[in-house]
């Protein structure tokens, strides 16, 4: 179930991928699969939804190449099938409103369910193109350089965006 080098970033570019990302439940499944591979049953319990819904949304994510089979395990006479994300990070080069809305909706649900206080800050800055580019590079570097503590520690979500306001 290990990931190969270079598989931590996936570019989102196809209509099928954008459609798959345009549903909050699929976003939540991707969040849940960030921690480790999981089964339909475990995901259903973790997310508080029925197994049929999880199965449907996993099929859509698999069809879009965002989730893949991570192997099986024999358990009490049955077989558990595991799923994992195809990459830890998604790069959406040309975001579409529907997918972005689903992502932000799923993040809002996660914030609401978070057992600890969270940081949510929105700030608008007047920046020239060069300074905005430097800030984007610094934020990307901070995200890329942050090392995980490892197995057993709580998973934290991180959303970083820098955008230019329309008409601004």
Over the stretch 20-29, which tens digit does the pLDDT of each residue have?
Answer: 988 989 989 9
160 φ, ψ to 5°? Answer: -125, 130
Average pLDDT over residues 38-55: 96
Highest mean pLDDT among 11-25, 51-65, 69-83, 131-145: 51-65
State the pLDDT at residue 7: 56
**Cα angle 67-69-71, degrees, rounded to a multiple of 5:** 145
Average pLDDT over residues 23-52: 92
DSSP string for residues in 29-98: HHHHHHHS-B-HHHHHHHHTS-HHHHHHHHHHHHHTTSEEEEEEEEETTEEEEEEEES-SEEEESS--HH
Closest by alpha carbon to 68, among 51, 82, 80?
A: 82
Predicted confidence band of residue 167 (pLDDT cuts 50, 70, 90)? confident
Please provide the average confidence, as pLDDT, over all residues in the chain.
87
Rounded CA-CA distance 142/150 in Å is: 18
Domain 9-116 fold is Arc Repressor Mutant, subunit A (1.10.10)
11 φ, ψ to 5°? Answer: -85, 130
pTM: 0.74
> Domains of the chain: which residue ranges?
9-116
Query: Residue 168 pLDDT more than 90?
Result: no
Rounded CA-CA distance 10/16 in Å is: 14
Over the stretch 83-140, which tens digit does the pLDDT of each residue have?
Answer: 999 998 888 878 888 888 888 888 888 888 888 888 888 999 999 999 999 999 999 8
Predicted confidence band of residue 6 (pLDDT cuts 50, 70, 90)? very low
């Amino acid at each position: 179930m290990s990931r190969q080098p270079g598989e931590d970033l996936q570019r989102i570019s196809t209509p099928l991928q954008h459609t798959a990302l345009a549903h909050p439940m699929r976003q939540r499944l991707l969040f849940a699969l960030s921690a480790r591979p999981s089964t339909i049953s475990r995901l259903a319990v973790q997310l508080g939804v029925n197994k049929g819904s999880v199965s449907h949304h996993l099929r859509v994510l698999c069809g879009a190449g965002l989730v893949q089979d991570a192997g099986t395990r024999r358990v009490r006479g049955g077989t558990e099938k595991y799923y994992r994300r195809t990459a830890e990070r998604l790069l959406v080069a040309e975001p579409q409103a529907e997918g972005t809305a689903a992502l932000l909706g799923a993040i809002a649900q996660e914030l609401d369910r978070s057992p600890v206080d969270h940081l949510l800050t929105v700030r608008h800055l007047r920046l020239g193109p060069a300074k905005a580019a430097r800030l984007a590079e610094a934020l990307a570097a901070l995200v890329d350089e942050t090392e995980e503590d490892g197995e057993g520690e709580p998973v934290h979500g991180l959303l970083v965006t820098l955008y230019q306001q329309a008409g601004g």
